[in-house]
Amino acid sequence: MFEPDTLLPEQFFTLLGRKPIQGEKRLLLAMLEDAVHCFQTYVLAKKPHERRLFQEAEEWIDSTDTHWFFSFENICDILNIHPGRLRNALQKWKSEQLVVAVAVDVRPLVSVDVDEKILAQAV
pLDDT digits 0-9 by tens, 81-114: 999 999 999 999 999 999 988 887 655 444 444 4
Average pLDDT for 52-61: 98
Using DSSP's 3-state secondary structure scheme, residue 69 falls into: coil
- Please give the residue that has the higher pLDDT: either 42 or 3: 42
**Predicted confidence (pLDDT) per residue in 10-46, tens digit:** 555 565 555 555 889 999 999 999 999 999 999 999 9
The answer to whether the Cα torsion of 81, 87, 88, 92 is positive or negative is positive
Average pLDDT for 55-62: 98
pLDDT confidence of residue 101? 84
pLDDT confidence of residue 76? 95
pLDDT confidence of residue 118? 45
User: Which residues have C-beta within 8 Å of that of residue 69, sequence separation ≥ 6?
Assistant: none
| Phi and psi at residue 69, to the nearest 5° | -55, -40
pLDDT confidence of residue 14? 60
Using DSSP's 3-state secondary structure scheme, residue 32 falls into: helix
pLDDT confidence of residue 103? 80
Helices (H), 1-123: 9-16, 21-41, 48-62, 72-78, 83-105, 116-122
